[in-house]
């Protein structure tokens, strides 16, 4: 081609690459074709690909990195394939010539030998002929150039001199088969050492030439220098397995490694995973900018890689501000914990970026366990859960996976998720526990206590699910249902025994008090069930009475105006502030069971507890509030409470919670 023709030719190829860069959907076929066209036009110098790659990333730095990589990959693949095909053609020609020359009768041999010799000497690919016992007897110039030795030097070498530790594992066997005549040809990618020390990767094809009696005599080997392609592959592979920002192994490499470990898990081998997340990284990123964020991540990565570099320890970036350390062949939980502590320590040193000194910390979830019986998914989920524990416990710390805690959380989650359906399926029910007047032991009220008849776990008490119901908000419909059940029951008692019907005391959760509909709900339920408002008592804890700002909740006044009594539940466990009670529409206090538990029999009195109970009762009475003692379990407690002037009591000593039918109204 003339200079102009070359220019035209390259321009047309460049246009095709630019098209591929900007195309909406990337089609690798067209770019591969560009690579092949280069080979067809004899642009086969090894530097061709290298320069093309460099120009691509220099000139199109603004294009998406992924697309550049795709184009580089496709171009290299097209180029390499075309080059290989070309070499194969050449090799085939040589092989045919060699066989042909050998097959010719004596008189033809000179002619065919000459032909073979010409091809051999002038071939662009390296060639050698050796004996089947491994002596090199002929080499061509291309092979000398490729390996940097003179022909004489190469001829003085034997097969063994070319064996390298990174030869493909099957190489020795394949050649043995070849020499033994069990195989006609071998093709492998094999490295050689150039005289000046660098590694030359070759695509090696070796064929047996047999003598007249069909015994293997010679080995003809052809070497294509594929160093460029090999290095490109190595580089592309590195790119695919490393994170461009920090140069750490990426998640793909991490998961490959972990999967390989799990695959040949044997005996009692153990594994450790430390899942690290930089605390508050988003804030840093958002306030100081992404550049600072990036530099910070690079610093963290560098520190982690430097401090955690033991044998079988891999530090990878999972993405964002998450890093992970894989400890292959963990010796013990302690070992993995100490690696995690080291990671926490190195991250804690302040980072200087962009004129800022930033103090950072990290949280780590640590999982350490036998390899057998686990999977990548399970292991990573455990690590993730544990990281969450570390965050929830206040960050800047590590948490160690605890299978029991995890199982409890899973159960909790399952319970929580199945509650709405359970409410629909009527798996909840209400029990009633008497509130007894201490002066005459009469039942003056009952407290409604909800239970869950769970199909798998049996009857669950409220402690197992009320908290969750508050978290999910299900407490609102559940509480409404309990209130309706209880009011219906109370109205029923009132119809059958108007004089003796007990007061109905129902618990309201904090979350219910924060919900606007509570006042409407109570009003509606009273109307629907026909219960007189003063026959209902609502039990609110101190935190349900007081809003988050320390002010009484709006709902409280509105509820009280509807007419039910208001009781403060578990008094003594919250603010226990009498000052606010003075101005609130509250009618009674329920003294928490822990105070009652402190009332000891007279032979072992605890004067302080007794004095507290006495003081609370005294103050409550000053404020015109009645007092109910909870958790009364013994006759002594009952009589102490009575002596101290307490009005009502509730507890197993009188009766446990039970069905409505168990309440005796006589
Ligand atoms: P609470 O309102 O303080 O209810 C009294 C708790 O003390 C009940 O527990 C009751 O079974 C228990 N108890 C009764 N007598 C004794 C005794 O002599 N000794 C001891 N140690 N305990 C006794 P339960 O039924 O497990 O209820 C626990 C809590 O769950 C209740 O505490 C209440 O705060 C809540 N709860 C129950 N039902 C509901 C409901 O329908 N809605 C709401 N929001 N909370 C409810
Ligand atoms: Mg209560
Ligand atoms: Mg209580």
Q: pLDDT value at position 98?
A: 67
- Do both 186 and 74 map to the same domain? no
Which residue, judged by its Cα, is nearest atom 46 of ligand 1? 507
Query: What pTM value is reported for the model?
Result: 0.61
Which of 103, 122, 141 is the endpoint of a domain?
122
Ligand 2 mean position, distance from CA 565 (Å): 13
* Domain end position, chosen among 167, 195, 227: 227
* Token pair 């006759």: residue: 635
**CB of residue 466 inside a 6 A radius of ligand 1:** yes
User: Within 13 Å and on the Cβ side, how many CA atoms surround 650?
Assistant: 23
| Total domains, the chain | 3
In this predicted structure, what is the pLDDT of residue 108? 56
Nearest 10 degrees: Cα torsion 209, 210, 216, 218: -40
| Domain-embedded: residue 623 | no
In a domain, 386, yes or no: yes
User: Which ranges of the chain have pLDDT less than 50?
Assistant: 106-107
| 487: its two tokens | 């009011």
Q: Is the CB of 320 under 6 A from ligand 1?
A: no
Question: Based on the domain organization, do 114 and 133 belong to the same domain?
Answer: no
Residue 574 belongs to a domain = no
From CA 583, how far away is CA 563, in angstroms rounded? Answer: 17
From the CA of 95, how far away is ligand 2's center (Å)? 96
Instruction: Give the number of the atom of ligand 1 that is nearest the alpha carbon of residue 570.
Output: 3
Specify whether 92 is located in the same domain as 196.
Answer: no
Let me know if residue 153 belongs to a domain.
yes
Here the CATH number for the domain that contains residue 376 is 3.30.70.270
CA separation for the pair 304, 347 (Å, rounded):
8
* Helix runs in 137-272, H state only: 141-147, 151-155, 171-179, 227-241, 251-263
Domain membership of residue 375 (yes or no) is yes
Q: Is the CB of 225 under 6 A from ligand 1?
A: no
- The ligand placed nearest to the CA atom of residue 654 is 1
Are 313 and 259 contained in the same domain?
Answer: yes
State residue 610's pLDDT score: 87
Closest CA to 321 of 356, 349, 347, 346: 347
**Residue in 449, 476, 598 to alter for ligand 1 test, most ligand atoms within 8 A of Cβ:** 449
Taking only the tens place, the pLDDT of each residue in 607-658 is 888 888 999 999 999 999 999 999 999 999 999 999 999 999 999 999 999 9
> Around Cβ 229, how many Cβ atoms within 10 Å?
22
- Both 194 and 137 in one domain: the answer is yes
Give the closest residue (by CA) to ligand 1 atom 21. 631
- Co-location of 50 and 118 in the same domain: yes
Q: How far apart are CA 318 and CA 324, in angstroms?
A: 7
Residue in the block written with tokens 């009594």: 565
- Same-domain pairing of 94 and 157: no
Q: How far apart are CA 336 and CA 326, in angstroms?
A: 9
Distances (CA, A) of 84 to 91, 125, 178: 10, 11, 23
Domain membership of residue 635 (yes or no) is no
Tokens coding 549: 């700002």
Q: State the pLDDT at residue 402.
A: 96
Q: Which residue has the tokens 């008692």?
A: 493
- Report yes or no on 324 lying in a domain: yes
- Looking at the structure, do residues 181 and 146 belong to the same domain, yes or no? yes
The residue whose CA is least distant from atom 42 of ligand 1 is 507
The model's pLDDT over 90-106, given as tens digits with 9 standing for 90+, comes to 777 777 776 666 655 54
Cα diameter, the chain:
136
Helix (H) or strand (E) holding 13: helix 3-22
Tell whether 154 and 184 lie within a shared domain. Answer: yes
Write out the DSSP string of 158-187.
Answer: BGGGG--TTS-TTHHHHHHHHHTTS-SEEE
Residue 459: CB within 6 Å of ligand 1? no
CA atoms within 13 A on the CB side of 191: 17
The domain of 220 spans 125-227
| Same domain for 341 and 206 | no
Q: Which residues keep their CB under 5 angstroms from ion ligand 3?
A: 569-570, 630
Cα separation, 318 vs 321, in Å, equals 8
Q: Which residue's CA is the nearest one to ligand 1's atom 4?
A: 449
Residue of the CA atom closest to atom 37 of ligand 1:
449
Ligand 3 center–CA 540 separation, angstroms: 9
Tell me: do 294 and 375 sit in the same domain. Answer: yes
- The Cα–Cα gap between 121 and 126 comes to 9
CA–centroid distance, residue 495 to ligand 3 (Å)? 28
CATH code (residue 166) = 3.30.450.20
Do 70 and 26 meet the contact criterion of CB atoms below 8 Å apart? yes
From 106, 122, 138, the end of a domain falls on 122
Contact criterion met (CB below 8 Å) for 358 and 279: no
In this structure, the answer to whether residues 250 and 374 fall within a common structural domain is: yes
Instruction: Evaluate whether residue 251 is within a structural domain.
Output: yes
> Parallel, antiparallel, or unpaired: how do β-strands 565-571 and 588-591 relate?
parallel
Residue 509 Cβ < 6 Å to ligand 1: yes
């Amino acid at each position: 081609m003339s200079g102009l023709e070359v220019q035209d030719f390259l321009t047309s190829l460049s246009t095709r690459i630019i098209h591929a860069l900007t195309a909406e959907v990337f089609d690798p076929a067209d770019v591969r074709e560009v690579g092949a066209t280069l080979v067809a036009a004899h642009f086969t110098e090894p530097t061709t690909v290298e320069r093309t790659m460099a120009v691509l990333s220099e000139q199109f730095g603004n294009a998406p990195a992924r697309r550049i990589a795709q184009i580089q990959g496709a171009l290299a693949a097209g180029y390499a394939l075309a080059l290989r095909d070309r070499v194969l053609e050449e090799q085939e020609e040589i092989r045919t010539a060699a066989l042909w020359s050998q097959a010719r009768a004596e008189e033809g041999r000179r002619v065919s030998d000459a032909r073979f010799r010409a091809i051999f000497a002038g071939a662009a690919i390296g060639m050698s002929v050796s004996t089947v016992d491994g002596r090199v007897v002929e080499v061509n110039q291309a092979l000398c150039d490729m390996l940097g030795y003179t022909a004489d030097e190469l001829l003085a070498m034997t097969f063994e001199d070319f064996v390298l530790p990174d030869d493909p594992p099957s190489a020795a066997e394949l050649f043995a088969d070849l020499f033994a005549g069990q195989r006609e040809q071998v093709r492998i990618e094999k490295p050689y050492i150039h005289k000046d020390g660098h590694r030359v990767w070759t695509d090696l094809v070796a064929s047996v030439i047999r003598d007249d009696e069909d015994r293997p005599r010679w080995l003809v080997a052809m070497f294509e220098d594929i160093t460029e392609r090999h290095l490109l592959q190595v580089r592309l592979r590195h790119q695919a397995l490393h994170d461009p920002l920090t140069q750490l192994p990426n998640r793909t490499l991490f998961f490959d490694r972990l999967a390989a470990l799990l695959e040949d898990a044997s005996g009692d081998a153990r594994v450790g995973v430390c899942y690290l997340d930089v605390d508050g990284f988003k804030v840093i990123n958002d306030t100081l900018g992404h550049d600072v964020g990036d530099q910070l991540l690079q610093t963290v990565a560098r520190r982690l890689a430097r401090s955690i570099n033991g044998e079988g320890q891999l530090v990878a970036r999972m993405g964002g501000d998450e890093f992970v350390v894989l400890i292959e062949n963990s010796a013990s939980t302690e070992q993995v914990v100490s690696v995690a502590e080291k990671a926490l320590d190195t991250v804690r040193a302040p980072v200087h970026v962009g004129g800022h000194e930033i103090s950072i910390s990290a949280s780590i979830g640590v999982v350490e366990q036998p390899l057998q019986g686990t999977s990548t998914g399970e292991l990573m989920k455990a690590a993730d859960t544990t990281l969450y524990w570390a965050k929830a416990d206040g960050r800047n710390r590590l948490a160690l996976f605890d299978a029991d805690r995890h199982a409890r959380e899973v159960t909790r989650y399952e319970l929580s998720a199945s509650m709405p359906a359970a409410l629909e399926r009527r798996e909840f029910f209400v029990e009633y526990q008497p509130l007894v007047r201490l002066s005459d032991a009469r039942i003056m009220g009952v407290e409604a206590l909800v239970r869950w008849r769970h199909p798998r776990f049996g009857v669950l008490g409220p402690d197992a699910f009320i908290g969750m119901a508050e978290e999910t908000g299900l407490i609102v419909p559940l509480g409404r249902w309990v209130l309706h059940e209880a009011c219906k029951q109370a109205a029923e008692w009132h119809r059958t025994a108007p004089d003796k019907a007990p007061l109905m005391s129902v618990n309201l959760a904090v979350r219910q008090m924060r919900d606007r509909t509570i006042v409407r709900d109570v009003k509606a339920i009273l109307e629907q069930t026909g219960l007189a408002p003063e026959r209902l008592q609502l039990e609110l804890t101190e935190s349900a009475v007081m809003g988050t700002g320390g002010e009484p909740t709006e709902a409280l006044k509105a509820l009280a105006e509807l007419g039910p009594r208001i009781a403060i539940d578990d008094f003594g466990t919250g603010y226990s502030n009498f000052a606010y009670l003075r101005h609130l529409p509250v009618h009674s206090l329920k003294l928490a069971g822990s105070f009652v538990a402190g009332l000891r029999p007279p032979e072992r009195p605890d004067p302080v507890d007794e004095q507290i109970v006495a003081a609370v009762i005294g103050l409550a009475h000053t404020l015109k509030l009645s007092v109910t003692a909870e958790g009364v379990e013994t006759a002594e407690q009952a009589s102490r409470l009575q002596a101290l002037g307490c009005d009502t009591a509730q507890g197993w000593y009188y009766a446990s919670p039970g069905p409505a039918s168990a309440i005796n109204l006589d």
